[in-house]
Amino acid sequence: MEVTANRNEKSSPTSSRALRDWVNEVAALTKPDAVVWCDGSEAEKKRFTAQAVDAGILIELNQKKRPGCYLHRSDPNDVARTEQLTFVCTPNKIDAGPTNNWSDPTETYAKLHGMLDGSMRGRTMYVVPYVMGPLGSPLSKVGVELTDSLYVVLNMRIMTRMGQAALDQLGDSADFNRGIHCTLDLNPDRRLICHFPQDNMIISVGSGYGGNALLSKKCFALRIASVLGRDEGWLAEHMLILGLQSPEGETTYIAAAFPSACGKTNLAMLTPPAEFQGWKVTTVGDDIAWMRVGPDGRLWAVNPENGYFGVAPGTSAKSNLNAMKMVEHDTIFTNVAMTPDGDVWWEGMDVPPPDGLLDWQGRRWKKESGEKAAHPNSRFTTPMRNNSAWSPQADDPRGVPISAVIFGGRRASTVPLVLESIDWTHGVFMGATMGSETTAAAAGAVGVLRRDPMAMLPFCGYNMGDYFAHWLKMRGAIKNPPRIFMVNWFRKGADGNFIWPGYGENMRVLKWMLDRIHGRAKGRATPVGIVPDETELDLNGLDLPQSATREALAVNPAEWKAELESAAEFFEKIGPTMPKELKDRRQAILKSLNGEAPTQRVAAGR
């Protein structure tokens, strides 16, 4: 629905006076030529897509090879999250904590309003109402993003339940997340992504990149929602949700946290190896989980999103067959390479690059140039129902019950293939000390080891020490807590090669977790947690020497002592809000490594 910026209230499709007033207020500030309220219809999608193609925002791909698919090329200075320009604007600096960039809210609002004043002249302001979570679910939330970007609108249509359904769910309420996004001139010197948790508000200017511009995603679903979760007694987490179905038809749901580009989407859509006949993995979500305690005392989770915003490079038929199939149609590709016949290509696709390839900036690409044809952080945006492993439970208003939580990162040493915590506090400790080598999903150097607790360091909207305390506090409310595990698919041997084959073979580790949950595996106690006995991993059909299995599961005391020293340094950076329970647990593990305390007894079930 398109109206002039100076419309009257009767022209609005919402019954929420608070929403009408806010849209009028922002329109008066930004001064767009027109305001369009998005309804989420197919007709609207076709109209917006045609406009985007005409404006050069999207490039139509070969419709015979990839029906409904388009390519977007972003500005070369705007290709990843800009964490150094991302701020949490709380009244007190300590509320944001030492791991977030803080900015005074009064000063920041004034600065942003100055940047937004008249910023949409000559442009259209799109009103994008959306629901995070299944429609009608008590676990879901409504948000509204005001943007001048058609690219954002079309991506939000894929990533959220967008349009009139969101306005219907909001009704006349004033309870919605407010998001303002303006691309300005994409000048990095005028780029800010600011969160105001106390106002349930996000303002992003100067960027068109997904993580900075799709405000439903990291901004609302994690930074703002983590604060809502703290205040309302639930968890907003950077986690996939998968269903693991046995040949007998029993389905167990698992949530798992990995930093970006560490195999998260691959695990969410895992195809079991041939030896696991009758086993099936279904995808509830690949990136974000909102988890609340159900009436049965278990954690119940929903995926707040409606699509996938996945990293393209490294995605192949071997690494993620389901992903390769789901992007065959109705997908927006961002910053991948384009073939002469209008198809897409990226590094790690396991298909040789054809002659005449255009790189992610539209330039002729030559292999000998040494440059990547697709940007390392190039993306695909596709509806979750495109995934043949999609779980219908993703639309269940109740969510799904979580039996296990996994923390994982990219580590070349120290962390074994799989490690189970001995109790909830130990599990929180494992998540709090999680480390990973940085990837291209964030601006900056690649391959540097950094602490990324629960994979939430860039996404927690408040003090990280208070976040750990919230996790510890949740144990009192969760009468039937999930098991907590840590995994590391990326451990390397002395030859510098990965020990574990990964990809679909990770099913073997998931099965051991199920055996632990259901009391079918004893495990082996170590000073740092429980690992499988070598005989407990189902390695049938896997050509992996016993020595490699032993190396993948090894716990090296010297490496772990260094790990705990590094963890202590990180705890010091958190400061006075760091929970004493986690400091004490670090000391207890260190004593166990030094032989000063007995290794915890392993129980088959608990």
Q: What angle do CA 219, 221, 222 make, to 5 degrees?
A: 70
Which residue carries 């639309």 as its tokens?
A: 395
- H-only helix segments in 160-242: 164-170, 210-213, 225-232
Q: Are strands 379-383 and 332-334 parallel, antiparallel or unpaired?
A: antiparallel
The partner residues of 34 in beta bridges, in order of sequence, read 4, 124
Contact status, residue 240 vs residue 264, Cβ threshold 8 Å: yes
Contact status, residue 7 vs residue 35, Cβ threshold 8 Å: yes
Q: Whole-angstrom Cα distance, residue 358 to residue 376?
A: 15
Q: Are strands 235-237 and 289-293 parallel, antiparallel or unpaired?
A: antiparallel
Which residue carries 């790189």 as its tokens?
A: 359
583: CB partners within 8 A, 6+ apart = 571
Catalytic-role residue among 38, 69, 194, 262: 262
Q: Is 231 exposed, middle or buried (0-12, 13-18, 19+ CB in 10 A)?
A: exposed
Q: Look up residue 470 and give its two tokens.
A: 């919230």
Q: Whole-angstrom Cα distance, residue 133 to residue 331?
A: 21
In single-letter form, the type of residue at position 195 comes to H
Q: What angle do CA 209, 215, 219 make, to 5 degrees?
A: 100
Q: Whole-angstrom Cα distance, residue 48 to residue 280?
A: 38
Contact status, residue 340 vs residue 356, Cβ threshold 8 Å: yes
Q: What angle do CA 16, 129, 401 make, to 5 degrees?
A: 105
Q: Whole-angstrom Cα distance, residue 188 to residue 262?
A: 27
Q: Whole-angstrom Cα distance, residue 29 to residue 221?
A: 26
Q: Whole-angstrom Cα distance, residue 247 to residue 466?
A: 42
Q: Whole-angstrom Cα distance, residue 79 to residue 75?
A: 7
565: CB partners within 8 A, 6+ apart = none
CA dihedral 546, 552, 555, 560 (to 10 degrees): 160
Task: Please indicate whether residue 219 is annotated as part of the active site.
Answer: no
Count of CA atoms in the C-beta half-sphere (13 A) of 281: 31
Work out the end-to-end distance of the chain between its first and last CA atoms, rounded to an integer number of angstroms.
56
What are 480-483's contacts with CB under 8 Å, separation 24+?
A: 480/296, 480/297, 480/298, 481/299, 481/424, 482/255, 482/298, 482/299, 482/402, 482/403, 482/404, 482/405, 483/403, 483/404, 483/405, 483/420, 483/421, 483/427, 483/513, 483/516, 483/517
| DSSP class of 354 | P
Reduced to 3 states, what is the DSSP secondary structure of residue 547? helix
List the one residue out of 434, 561, 437 whose CA is nearest residue 485.
Answer: 434
Element (H, E) at 195: strand 192-196
Active site members: 262
